[in-house]
Amino acid sequence: MTKHADRFYAVVRRIPRGRVATYGQIAALAGLPNHARHVGNALSELPEAIAVDPSLKDLPWHRVVNASGGISPRFDLNDQRRQRERLEAEGVVVSDSDRVSLKRYQWRQPAES
DNA sequence: AAACTGACTAATA
DNA sequence: CTATTAGCCAGTT
């Protein structure tokens, strides 16, 4: 179990529909710079995490992409397909090579108060 | 303790 | 554009 998974999940929850955020961005917003890999690790544990905390069911994990704006390669190709469908379902255009334009869709979170 | 492993990333070539 | 390489860091051998 990844130590800061819950903190990452909390940030992922704030990504608005139709926008995306990068792994590094999530880590930074969670106050843990240089932990991009752990964000990915945390998401891969999601199924188990949901078993423990069912409220994570609606976590918008599909809105997380890599620094290149791409859907990161997965062991299970079906997962990539699912992510693609979920994104398209909320209006995000995904290229043939599984990439989205960060220019257009990256989430610019509001300034702190 | 040492090596290995990632849904990662920025810098090079 | 693709491919490598180094850093990264917590969890697991």
pLDDT digits (tens, 9 = 90+) for A2-34: 889 999 999 999 999 999 999 999 999 999 999
**Helix residue spans in A5-101 (DSSP H):** 5-13, 23-29, 36-44, 46-52, 77-89
Q: A111 falls in which pLDDT band (50, 70, 90)?
A: confident
Q: Residue A4, CA: closest nucleotide via C1'?
A: C10
Q: Residue A75, CA: closest nucleotide via C1'?
A: B7
Q: What distance lies between CA A61 and its chain's CA centroid?
A: 4
* Chain B bases closer than 7 A to any CB of the protein: 6-10
- For residue A63, how many other CB atoms are within 10 A of its CB? 25
For A48-104, the pLDDT digits (tens) are: 999 999 999 999 999 999 999 999 999 999 999 999 999 999 999 999 999 999 999
> The whole model's pTM is what?
0.95
| CA→C1' distance for A62 and B3 (Å) | 33
Chain A residues 33-92, Cβ below 7 A from strand C: 34-38
